Structure 1
Amino acid sequence: MVEPSNDLQRHLQLLSAQFAERLAQELPELAGKAQLLRDANDQESQRQHLLSLRDQLHKLAGAAGTFGFVSLGQRTQALEQQAIRWLDALQQEQQGLHDFIADLQQLSQQQFQIELAQESTPATPKTAKSSSATHCIYILEDEPTIGENMRLTLSNFGYQAEHFTRIADLDAALQRQLPDALVIDVNLPGEAQTGLNYAAALQQRLDEPLPLLVITTQDDFTTQLEAVRAGAMGFFSKPVDIPQLENRLERCFAQQYGEPYRVLIVDDDRELASRYSLVLRSANMLVEALNDPADIFSHMRTFNPEVVLLDVNMPGCTGPELAQIIRLNDDWLRVPIIYLSAETDISRQMSALLKAGDDFVTKPISDNALVAAVFARAQRARLLSNALSRDSLTGLLKHADIKEQVAIELERALRGGSQASVVMLDIDHFKKVNDSYGHPAGDNVIRALANLLRQRLRRVDSLGRYGGEEFLAVLPECPPEQAQRIIDEIRQRFADLRFIVEGTEFAVTLSAGISCTDADISASELLERADRALYAAKESGRDRVCQAD
């Protein structure tokens, strides 16, 4: 397990020190409550004191182990279970209760040391990757023509691609700078080892494995199994359809470098919430911590979390009750809810999950386990959200959503005094592609254009599939002359792409129309102007970009 970074370790130690100060106050409080329990002379008074002790022990049992006080966590958890048993059977022998009180009073007199677990949040990999905004791809292909064609095509998509014919040359490049992904051929006749053997050994010696795509003339089960064991995230038979390969690269990067997952923590224990926040932020997640359950609505609306972590036992409103409140709102039905609690009773855990919730994690939880649990839930939640709100073929916004972006950017442009451009693009003679090469080939062309647009446009730009083979782009703070240059370059890059179907190679072009915001135009008129400009480009011979009059 990789050791945590020095900065993260210092912050974790600081939180543990703060928790130790809290213990110096809470443990004597437990002894005082134990004395009150000893002095109680009726069952109702005993019950109230036991309830108070149970709640405080429960909170300590969950937090102590997390902050490194392992023995204390185990002791308080055992005492919590005794408190629960005495609550269930106050009529039993009094000597047992006296022993429980003595254990509580002894607890406050003992010195507990921090016993930090070895497992912690992984640090940032030591080997540096490319710092460029453009993804860097290394290609190992012994046939120069194939490798160069792949390099040029990936460059057209906007990647920084480098081609190597020998393992020694690739090794030398890896010593200088790690790429963002590797594309490796299985068969390397001039080498002492196969591409897969080399890739497997390379991944083992890196601090963090690289996304790996494998190309080969062998598509049998054994080769694919070997590729998976080497960490392959894509497997392509020769001749390689490079737009399909690029689509897989895009998916890898979307998963690896996408927007940080948003996590909302609801826990009345401020120190514990602070620690969870620190650990998750160190794993590149956006985190908000909430100590008062009554503030849930504003945080859900403004922060829009992808995962909610809930403490089960909170004063005034329990975790399961808060989870049910969240589930009353249809907009939040897809948000996973993970309970975090020291509760070990399976029946109580199941009861909480049946009311509302998706997972139950028992405190104390290691940093790595916390990150893994949250990451897995957030990843699935985002995939589901994208499946519902985005076009399934391209991953771009659907028709209604991209139209809404036109209205939003028009309003923003008018308010800020800037210009925004709206671009409507259409694939030329797309029906001929479907008729000649089949609908799967047509889908591949659509995906390729979507990925090219995503690579070549800015993050602030909005992209959507307007319908069929038609796309819509909204470019804020972009006058029409600048939009013309950008879209025309994309047009040229798209025309340079080569698609392969059963050994047959073909190319496709696109046409585009551009309209621009002004003070006297509505969102619908913007779209109509862009559509008319697109029609003019089609009428003028296609494979061109026209601006609205």
Structure 2
Amino acid sequence: MPDTPQLQAQLAALEARFRQRLDDELDTLDDLSAQLQTDPSALQSLRDRLHKLAGSAGTFGYGELGSMARQLEQQAQARLDDATPDAATLASLSSAGAQLRPLLQRNEQSEAQPQQLDAGINDDDRHRRIGLLIEEDDLASQMAQTLDSFGYQVIHLASPEALQEAAPLDALIIDTSPPGSRLLGHPMFQQAASQLPPLLIISSLDTFASRLQAVRAGAVGFFTKPVDLTLLERRLERSFNNQQGGPFRVLIVDDDTELAARYQLVLSNAGIRVDAVSNPHLLLEKMRSFIPEVVLMDLNMPDYSGPELAQVIRLDDDWLRVPIVYLSAETNAERQMSALLKAGDDFITKPISDSTLLTTVYARAQRARMVSDALARDSLTGLLKHADIKEQLEVEVERAKRCHAPVSVAMIDIDHFKNVNDTYGHACGDNVIRALSNMLRQRLRKVDRLGRYGGEEFVAVLPGCSSKDATQLLESIREAFNALQFSYGGQQFHCSFSAGISACEDDEWAEEELLERADRALYQAKQSGRNRLCRNTGAAD
């Protein structure tokens, strides 16, 4: 999300609160410095205060003050590590507050400006626009019909020059078979290759040279004729690198409320959902309620260390896949490594710029989601596995009860699927399963959850959706799937599906009951002749 005057005003308010806190911090450092003359045990408290100040000052624009605090902190740490008296070090530390105050005044005179935010990730909700540069009319028509059934918007291109007028496109499909064999050599592709959308190539030649040409043109897919449109659509979907399944969720664990508030503001304005906890006793409760994809953990907090809290999190198998990123002013490589070996995944040294924070969090969250999805997804369809879709159903039912909102469940089964396998082979049957899964994924909403329940059976969880709304949505998908054309060995055929729908609309149903009612409704649909939907809501519709 781009920088805005509103965001800058919010950041300025946080910095004003931090500036007020600085006076108290420096007064405390003066008191601790004075205690050193008579009580050497005050050195640990002084070091801790300097460490915290070194980490937060630079983030709020007091870079010079933060650097000096870090130097004093390192002197204090060296004094703590070495029991040999060092009068010079003690003398320097006894004037810590006095050394920092002039830097504060100098900073205010230069009127430090808040950092500017980099642009975040823009989530585009429009339909995918697919450009077709195909001269063969029959192929272009068939492909347009198929892609339209999957929910894409198809743009026919008469020539490479039409690319500019059609922009922006989410993907581009080109037929390089004669007479289009010279298309990839067109200046439009040579000059703007880095600006082109994901490119898929269709060719009548299945040779190393043709595939190499496609790779050099930046293609993400290569298909030979006759084109398996189901496989092409699957590759097309995979090529979209912004299918994120909703905003990332980040939990901040830090006792410094102003610093945590700044991190939260920066990340939130980049489209990331953020929550924060300052009391470690509430950490596990927050983990269960918020279900973060990344945890930002302060390394040093009163009475607790970041590695200790990270290990508490790791005691639960449910959180083994969640990356924990330590935030600290610690610069000692050995201490950083020690922290990482204790349940951590990454380390960001304070002060942290907004761009560094965004880049690190986004990269970690993206990788965590990819790994989590890979482990939870069915290899054939890319949908959630049996256990994972049931878990998602439980989550959505609990959320629906809290919000007093409806949630619907649909059990979907491909009709006469055994006949497809027996007649056309299991490879063709797999294509039918992939086609339905792709169509469901394309036409359902981003908030919906979809899983392969087993074999040719699917489960869709539709939060905020009544049984009537769910029926209307699934009916449109059923009609589109009926129109989808499959081919095998020159033969063409169509498939259909039946579905049973149930809904939780009174805050009392459990997820098991929803599945059972949906299953009974599916049985009713099949007994009534298949290729239809039935509802079982437990109430009159």
Q: With structure 2 as the length reference, what TM-score do the two structures score?
A: 0.82
Aligned pair partner of 2:256 in 239, 246, 269: 269
Task: Give 1:336 shift.
Answer: 1.3
Asked if the contact 2:498/2:532 (under 8 Å) is kept, the reply is: yes
1:383 correspondence with 2:370: yes
**Structure-2 change in CA distance of 1:457 and 1:102 (3 Å):** closer
Task: Give 1:479 shift.
Answer: 4.5
Asked if the contact 2:202/2:223 (under 8 Å) is kept, the reply is: yes
Query: SS at the partner of 1:84?
Result: helix
Which shows bigger deviation, 233-242 or 164-173? 233-242
Alignment of 1:91-490 (within 5 A): 91-102=84-95, 105-110=98-103, 111-112=106-107, 113=110, 120-122=117-119, 132=126, 134-174=127-167, 178-185=168-175, 194=184, 198=188, 201-202=191-192, 210=197, 212-217=198-203, 233-253=220-240, 255-400=242-387, 402=389, 423-434=410-421, 438-459=425-446, 462-473=449-460, 477-479=465-467, 486-490=473-477
Once residues 228 and 519 of structure 2 are traced to their aligned partners in structure 1, the CA distance between those partners, rounded to angstroms, is 36
**Structure-2 change in CA distance of 1:124 and 1:385 (3 Å):** closer
Which shows bigger deviation, 267-276 or 161-170? 161-170
Asked if the contact 1:240/1:500 (under 8 Å) is kept, the reply is: no
Asked if the contact 1:264/1:287 (under 8 Å) is kept, the reply is: yes
Question: CA offsets, 1:395-421, max 9 Å, x none?
Answer: 334335556778899999999999987
Asked if the contact 1:293/1:322 (under 8 Å) is kept, the reply is: yes
Count of residue pairs the alignment pairs up: 525
Task: Give 1:290 shift.
Answer: 1.5
Task: Give 1:154 shift.
Answer: 0.9
Task: Give 1:225 shift.
Answer: 7.0
Match of 1:59 in 2: 52
Once residues 454 and 65 of structure 1 are traced to their aligned partners in structure 2, the CA distance between those partners, rounded to angstroms, is 45
Once residues 500 and 395 of structure 1 are traced to their aligned partners in structure 2, the CA distance between those partners, rounded to angstroms, is 22
Match of 2:539 in 1: none
Task: Give 1:504 shift.
Answer: 4.6
Once residues 81 and 143 of structure 2 are traced to their aligned partners in structure 1, the CA distance between those partners, rounded to angstroms, is 71
Match of 2:526 in 1: 535
Query: SS at the partner of 2:500?
Result: strand
1:510 correspondence with 2:496: yes
Once residues 418 and 108 of structure 1 are traced to their aligned partners in structure 2, the CA distance between those partners, rounded to angstroms, is 56
Task: Give 1:334 shift.
Answer: 2.0
Once residues 7 and 27 of structure 2 are traced to their aligned partners in structure 1, the CA distance between those partners, rounded to angstroms, is 31
**Structure-2 change in CA distance of 1:400 and 1:179 (3 Å):** same
Task: Give 1:386 shift.
Answer: 2.9
Q: Which residue identity does 1:261 align to in structure 2?
A: F
Query: SS at the partner of 2:42?
Result: helix
Once residues 113 and 150 of structure 2 are traced to their aligned partners in structure 1, the CA distance between those partners, rounded to angstroms, is 48
1:526 correspondence with 2:513: no
Q: Which residue identity does 1:122 align to in structure 2?
A: A
Task: Give 1:120 shift.
Answer: 4.1
Q: Which residue identity does 1:526 align to in structure 2?
A: R
Task: Report percent identity of matched pairs.
Answer: 48
Once residues 247 and 349 of structure 1 are traced to their aligned partners in structure 2, the CA distance between those partners, rounded to angstroms, is 43
**Structure-2 change in CA distance of 1:263 and 1:190 (3 Å):** same
Once residues 279 and 303 of structure 1 are traced to their aligned partners in structure 2, the CA distance between those partners, rounded to angstroms, is 19
Structure 2 residue ranges without an equivalent (≥5): 537-541
Task: Give 1:429 shift.
Answer: 4.3
Task: Give 1:84 shift.
Answer: 1.1
Question: CA offsets, 1:447-471, max 9 Å, x none?
Answer: 2101212223345655332321122
Asked if the contact 2:408/2:461 (under 8 Å) is kept, the reply is: yes
Query: SS at the partner of 2:301?
Result: coil
Task: Give 1:3 shift.
Answer: 7.6
Question: CA offsets, 1:243-269, max 9 Å, x none?
Answer: 223223434557435211110001111
Which shows bigger deviation, 401-410 or 388-397? 401-410
Once residues 186 and 273 of structure 1 are traced to their aligned partners in structure 2, the CA distance between those partners, rounded to angstroms, is 54
Task: Give 1:331 shift.
Answer: 2.3
Two-structure CA RMSD over aligned residues (Å): 4.1
Task: Give 1:223 shift.
Answer: 6.9
Asked if the contact 1:514/1:530 (under 8 Å) is kept, the reply is: yes
**Structure-2 change in CA distance of 1:450 and 1:327 (3 Å):** same
Match of 1:19 in 2: 18
Once residues 277 and 6 of structure 1 are traced to their aligned partners in structure 2, the CA distance between those partners, rounded to angstroms, is 17
Query: SS at the partner of 1:308?
Result: strand
Structure 1 residue ranges without an equivalent (≥5): none
**Structure-2 change in CA distance of 1:55 and 1:332 (3 Å):** same
Asked if the contact 2:293/2:322 (under 8 Å) is kept, the reply is: yes
Once residues 212 and 252 of structure 2 are traced to their aligned partners in structure 1, the CA distance between those partners, rounded to angstroms, is 40
Aligned pair partner of 1:80 in 61, 73, 77: 73
Q: With structure 1 as the length reference, what TM-score do the two structures score?
A: 0.81
Asked if the contact 1:120/1:366 (under 8 Å) is kept, the reply is: no
Question: CA offsets, 1:115-157, max 9 Å, x none?
Answer: 66987422577xxx9764x333333334444333222211111
**Structure-2 change in CA distance of 1:83 and 1:417 (3 Å):** closer
Task: Give 1:427 shift.
Answer: 2.7
Question: CA offsets, 1:207-248, max 9 Å, x none?
Answer: xx85x1321426777776776677655444444332223223
Asked if the contact 1:410/1:523 (under 8 Å) is kept, the reply is: no
Query: SS at the partner of 2:300?
Result: coil
Task: Give 1:171 shift.
Answer: 1.2
**Structure-2 change in CA distance of 1:416 and 1:63 (3 Å):** closer
Query: SS at the partner of 2:304?
Result: coil
Once residues 367 and 240 of structure 1 are traced to their aligned partners in structure 2, the CA distance between those partners, rounded to angstroms, is 47
Once residues 323 and 166 of structure 1 are traced to their aligned partners in structure 2, the CA distance between those partners, rounded to angstroms, is 57
Question: CA offsets, 1:450-502, max 9 Å, x none?
Answer: 1212223345655332321122345675456x66654443233223334466x
